């Protein structure tokens, strides 16, 4: 007997099959994911999602008998009271266990239910979204460069010598020029020695000697490696695209923002973060909260500590501008900003905010999303058409060439759809 421990064998043998399955069910899975994403909160994103798809596309049909009609016989155990000739009320829907035999081995299910992993879910959810202006226009001027392999050259430093290429050239040249091989020379020497030892035909010895001389000479004339064989790896410098992004989260934390609103804002920020994370190698986050004055804070403080005061939006924009200047030179970073607010602003500040946004913030941003959160039960005055101060202000700034998008969110359910709308592939922004 052999005992083999297979536990350490590579896991996930079924992965290839799973991918084939997902590809097969793509259409339905995408639809299911869209439906599901409307219902779930962002923190659930950490888990996989159970999706249910119609079995139609992934059905495996076979010839089998229908579950209805005809005459069927069953033998079943557990008779208690029946005698021959008794009749039994037909159980509903062929139930009572007997029906399950009747339906043979066909798959009676109409729906197929399984769990998508978190990555699969996100992949499908984010599939047709893209970041607006993904690459900085200024990439060409960027300082950072990287070396990339670019074929071979005939000159270069010894460290870059490509041995394989060189030897291949050398070999083909030697074959083409018929350079005698070492074995041939040795063979000839052997022949000559034999002939000399036997001391026979002097003429033949002479001929052999000349022949040997000829091939030795030839092998000397044709070098083993010639300078024309030598090849070097060639490198080119290419500008490195900016693979880092910074995301600014701006939020109004004045008294008018309720927990619910903050929660909505947080969800939106998280989603944006997840999204950026998949596109850039590193993503920095800066949290700036403001009342009548703005401060950069850590995440905990950002979401959970309360502050009182008025609402002056321009302070937050100024703070952002300052942070960018200090730490995130905008030709090296992709800058994204998301601002959440309930739409209040001090009337006297509106003009200043608009100017700041138009002249300073938007030009350096890849994208600026403004999310106006509202109380869930408040049917939303804004929804009825009355616009808030800030909304009106930003609306003036908005124009097709500026990367500014504005959306209103009232409940958790709307977060995903709004997010999708903002980043839908064809046209970003409002």
The CA distances from residue 170 to 180, 187, 215, 221, in Å, are 14, 23, 19, 14
Residue whose entry in the numeric block shows the structure tokens 């029906």: 99
Retrieve residue 83's tokens. 């005698």
What minimum distance in Å lies between the beta carbon of 11 and other proteins?
6
SS3 237: strand
Q: What are the backbone angles phi and psi of residue 179, rounded to the nearest 5°?
A: -70, 130
| 17 or 347: CB nearest other proteins | 17
SS3 223: coil
What minimum distance in Å lies between the beta carbon of 39 and other proteins?
19
Among 41, 47, 72, 299, binds other proteins (CB under 8 A): 72
Taking CB under 8 A as the binding criterion, the range among 79-87, 254-262, 298-306, 374-382 that sits at the site for other proteins is 79-87
C-alpha dihedral sign at 22, 24, 25, 30: positive
Q: What are the backbone angles phi and psi of residue 245, rounded to the nearest 5°?
A: -135, 150
62 forms part of the interface with other proteins (CB under 8 A): yes
What minimum distance in Å lies between the beta carbon of 102 and other proteins?
8
Identify the helix (H) or strand (E) that includes residue 151.
Answer: strand 145-153
79 forms part of the interface with other proteins (CB under 8 A): yes
90 forms part of the interface with other proteins (CB under 8 A): yes
Residues 3-32 that bind other proteins (CB under 8 A): 3-7, 9, 11, 13-14, 16-25
Among 50, 138, 145, 425, binds other proteins (CB under 8 A): 50
Among 46, 61, 183, 384, binds other proteins (CB under 8 A): 61
Whole-angstrom distance, CA of residue 179 vs CA of residue 171: 10
| 74 or 198: CB nearest other proteins | 74
What minimum distance in Å lies between the beta carbon of 30 and other proteins?
16
Residues 95-114 that bind other proteins (CB under 8 A): 96-98, 100-102, 104, 106, 112-114
The CA distances from residue 333 to 98, 140, 219, 250, 326, in Å, are 68, 13, 61, 18, 12
Contact 220, 174 (CB under 8 A): no
- With CB under 8 A as the rule, give the number of residues binding other proteins: 66
Among 28, 35, 76, 367, binds other proteins (CB under 8 A): 76
Q: Report the candidate in 196, 296, 198, 207 with the shortest Cα–Cα distance to residue 253.
A: 296
- Residues in contact with other proteins by the rule CB under 8 A: 1-7, 9, 11, 13-14, 16-25, 50, 58-80, 82-90, 96-98, 100-102, 104, 106, 112-115
């Amino acid at each position: 007997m052999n005992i083999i421990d297979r536990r350490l064998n590579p896991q996930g043998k079924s992965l290839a099959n799973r991918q084939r399955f997902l590809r097969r069910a793509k259409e339905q899975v995408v639809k299911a994911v869209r439906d599901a994403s409307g219902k779930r909160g962002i923190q659930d994103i950490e888990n996989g999602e159970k999706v249910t798809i119609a079995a139609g596309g992934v059905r495996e049909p076979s010839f089998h008998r229908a579950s209805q009609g005809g005459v069927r016989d069953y033998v079943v155990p557990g008779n208690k009271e029946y005698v021959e000739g008794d009749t039994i009320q037909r159980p509903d829907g062929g139930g009572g266990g007997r029906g399950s035999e009747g339906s043979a081995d066909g798959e009676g299910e109409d729906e197929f239910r399984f769990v998508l992993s978190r990555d699969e879910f996100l992949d499908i959810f984010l599939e047709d979204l893209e970041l607006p202006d993904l690459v900085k226009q200024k990439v060409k001027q960027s300082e950072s460069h990287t070396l990339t392999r670019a074929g071979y050259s005939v000159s270069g430093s010894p460290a870059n010598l490509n041995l394989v290429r060189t030897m291949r050239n050398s070999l083909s040249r030697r074959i083409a020029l018929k350079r005698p091989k070492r074995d041939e020379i040795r063979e000839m020497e052997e022949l000559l020695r034999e002939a000399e030892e036997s001391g026979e035909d002097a003429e033949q010895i002479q001929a052999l000697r000349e022949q040997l001389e000829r091939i030795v000479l030839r092998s000397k004339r044709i070098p083993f490696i010639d300078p024309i064989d030598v090849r070097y790896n060639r490198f080119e410098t290419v500008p490195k695209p900016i693979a880092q992004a910074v995301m600014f989260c701006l939020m109004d934390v004045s008294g008018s923002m309720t927990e619910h609103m903050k929660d909505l804002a947080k969800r939106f920020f998280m989603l944006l973060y997840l999204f950026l994370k998949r596109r850039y190698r590193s993503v920095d986050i800066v949290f700036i909260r403001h009342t009548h004055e703005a401060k950069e804070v850590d995440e905990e403080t950002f979401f959970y500590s309360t502050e009182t005061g008025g609402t002056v939006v321009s302070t937050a924009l100024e703070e952002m501008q300052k942070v960018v200047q200090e730490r995130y030179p905008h030709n090296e970073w992709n800058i994204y900003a998301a601002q959440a607010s309930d739409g209040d602003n001090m009337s006297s500040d509106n003009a200043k905010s608009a100017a700041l946004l138009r002249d300073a913030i938007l030009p350096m941003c890849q994208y600026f999303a403004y999310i106006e959160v509202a109380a869930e039960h408040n049917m939303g005055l804004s929804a009825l058409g009355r616009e808030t101060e800030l909304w009106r202000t930003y609306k003036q700034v908005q124009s097709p060439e500026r990367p500014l998008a504005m959306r209103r969110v009232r409940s958790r359910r709307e977060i995903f759809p709004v997010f999708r709308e903002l980043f839908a592939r064809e046209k970003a922004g409002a």
